Structure 1
Amino acid sequence: MVGNEFFGNFDLASIAIWLFWLFFALLVYYLQTENMREGYPLEREDGKESASIGLFPTPKDKTFRLPHGRGDISVPSGQNPERTKLAIEATSRSAGSSYVPTGDPMIDGVGPASWAPRRDVTELDGHGHNKIQPMSALPDFAVSAGRDPRGKAVVAGDGEVIGRIIDMWIDVPEQMVRYLTVDLNPEGKGNTRLIPMNFCRIQSDRVTARAIYSGQFADVPGIKKPDQITLLEEEKIMAYFGGGTMYADSKRSEPVI
């Protein structure tokens, strides 16, 4: 037979299964190393390099060309370095021990208020336009359902009225409200902050933002330009309100029985 004469005692089924296992192992290695282009090399909570490097090595730099003239970015080269010198300290010297804030965690951005150093540029849609824009700059948008929060008083987590809603920020491609603009000055002098929509509750006569208290609204991270918000600014605003759910009041961090 042709098979016996050409291959002899060579087992085609055996080599086929071994080739499959080799391909599968290389596929796992490739996918895992590609997955390590963000968040690596590993660091400890205090920003120092971790002693545990893992099974797979950190991949070499790969450069991505960004659309809409945003330049190039190489990862994981560290050109967008992680945050260091965090205001936290370990509760003990043993590995895996918890860390506690050493200052104001909401200002320092640690714990539940942590934020990542995202690029300080706006998020763009598929056409190169800013994805999130204030509704006052979008004449084609209007509130078609639900309650319009504009003009309503904003009540903080301690029950105090801290201002009024004057605008909404729209995710244009998704047609969703992402932020509300609150004017903290009753005379309307432009001392504004953004409140993430998922931290608001719109009622018939008010907008409630329970995550933080009245005295903490002044420290909400601001935006550099009145008509756009960057990825880094979004990250800090969301982290501030998220941290408030635990740090706004010392009682929130106590055990609940």
Structure 2
Amino acid sequence: MEKGAITQYIDVAQVVLYFFWAFFLGLIWYLRREDKREGYPLAYERIDTAPYLNFPAIPSPKTFFLAHGGSVEAPRASDPQIDYRAEPVAPFIGAPLEPVGDAMLSGAGPGAYALRADTPDLTLEGLPKIVPLRIASGEKLVTHATQGTETAPEPPNSGHYKHYTLSPRDPDPRGMTVIGADGRAAGTVQDVWIDVSEVLIRYLEVALTGTNTTVLLPMTFSSIDGRRRRVNVDAILASQFAQVPKIKTANQVTFLEEEQICAYYGAGTLYATLQRRESLL
């Protein structure tokens, strides 16, 4: 072979380009496997397509240590699925789901939610991050249950919150009447739940009229009318407040409970009345 017959067609730039292609292909392969750590294994509508969707294969489990103790593996051996109550409206893949039974609690459509951990979000000090103002006013955390049968354990590093108050320049929703989408009164705001890390209102605690029950109302689903001393809620009817998912303990809310509460109000935007499910035309 003539001297230089191969190298005269190869230069440094070409070698670098080939290495870059190989590196980029490996990077895509690695990232495509790593993005399967959450939400896998999947639930397939057609079993015969499952092998193709598993390429590349799901990676081996990794153990992640949580900030406040404990650990979690991802991907999980079996990914828990929400037991939603809905059926496809047509016999083809991807057909819309029609709720079965009470659409507000079906877990489908705008009422869908994720199965997050059934533990409260914590601050860096180990205290529940979202608490009622009666707790965030500087008093020691109270953990006795008043809305359920379970009693929450004392959180790690439990102590005192800073002294949080509502700004006097804004209307105080406590004592205001909560009005549903039908214009009827559902109850009265009993307390305000704040996020002590973000320093904003997350929920309103509503005492339902004629009962000893309180439910949480997400601030994003409410509109405060300070002049008429009322809180308007367009998502659900006054009678539907009684079915809002309850929290297990009086002074803290878990990730899962937040998902279920917000999903209920979200479901109301479509399923609260039959008219909302009809065509706009």
Q: What whole-Å deviation, never above 9, does each CA across 1:135-156 have from its counterpart, x for those lacking one?
A: 1111211111321100000001
Match of 2:191 in 1: 167
Separation of aligned partners in 1, 2:245 and 2:7 = 75
Aligned residue number for residue 243 of structure 1 = 267
Structure 1: where are the runs of 5+ without partners? none
* Corresponding residue number in structure 2 for 1:142: 165
For 1:231 and 1:50, how far apart are their aligned partners in 2?
Answer: 33
Amino acid corresponding to residue 62 of structure 2 in structure 1: K
**1:219 aligns to 2:217 (yes or no):** no
Among candidates 93, 112, 115, match of residue 113 of structure 2: 115
- Secondary structure of 1:238's match? helix
Q: Which residue of 1 aligns with 2:81?
A: 82
Contact residue 105 and residue 111 of structure 1 kept, 8 A: no
SS in 2 for 1:137: coil
**Which residue is equivalent to 2:28?**
28
TM-score by length of 2: 0.82
Secondary structure of 2:215's partner? strand
Aligned residue runs from structure 1 range 195-214, under 5 A: 195-204=217-226, 205-214=229-238
- The alignment partner of 2:134 has SS state of helix
Q: Distance in 1 between matches of 2:109 and 2:164?
A: 37
Letter in 2 for 1:221: P
Aligned to 2:101, the other structure's residue is in SS state coil
Letter aligned with residue 31 of structure 1: L
Task: Report sequence identity in percent.
Answer: 40
For structure 1, which segment, 14-23 or 52-61, has the greater mean C-alpha deviation from structure 2 after superposition?
Answer: 52-61
Tell me, in whole angstroms, the C-alpha distance in 1 between the residues paired with 2:216 and 2:91: 40
Asked whether the 8 Å contact 2:38–2:74 carries over to 1, the reply is yes
Change (3 A) 1:78 1:243: farther
* Structure 1 residue 177 corresponds to structure 2 residue 201: yes
CA–CA distance in structure 1, aligned partners of residues 255 and 184 of structure 2? 30
Unaligned 5+ runs, structure 2: 138-162
| DSSP 3-state at the match of 1:136 | coil
> Is the CA contact 2:40–2:76 (under 8 Å) kept in the aligned structure 1?
no
Q: Distance in 1 between matches of 2:25 and 2:212?
A: 59
CA deviation vs aligned residue, 1:51-103 (integer Å, no higher than 9, x gap) = 3616433222111011112x11111114551224x321122222222221111
Q: Would the aligned equivalents of 2:86 and 2:106 in 1 still touch at CA under 8 Å? A: no
- 1:89–1:134 CA distance, 2 compared to 1 (3 A): same
Letter of the structure 1 residue corresponding to residue 220 of structure 2: N
Could you tell me whether the CA contact under 8 Å between 1:42 and 1:49 is conserved in 2?
Answer: no
Q: Give yes or no for the alignment of 1:254 onto 2:252.
A: no
**Range 235-244 or range 75-84, more displaced:** 75-84
Deviation at 1:12, TM superposition (A): 1.9
Distance (whole Å) between structure 2 residues aligned to residue 218 and residue 250 of structure 1: 19
Q: Is the 8 A contact 1:89 1:102 kept in 2?
A: yes
Select between 103-112 and 149-158 the one with higher mean Cα deviation. Answer: 103-112
Measured in 1, the distance between the counterparts of 2:45 and 2:255 equals 23
Contact kept? 1:43, 1:50, Cα under 8 Å: no
State the 1:113 CA deviation: 0.5
In 1: Cα distance, 2:34 partner to 2:243 partner: 38
The answer to which of 10-19 and 166-175 deviates more is: 10-19
Aligned ranges 1:30-109 → 2 under 5 Å: 30-44=30-44, 51=50, 53=53, 55-69=55-69, 71-78=70-77, 81-84=80-83, 86-109=84-107
> In structure 2, what residue type is equivalent to 1:141?
Y
SS at match of 1:14: helix
Aligned CA-pair RMSD: 2.3
- Distance, in Å, in 2 between the alignment partners of 1:11 and 1:65 is 48
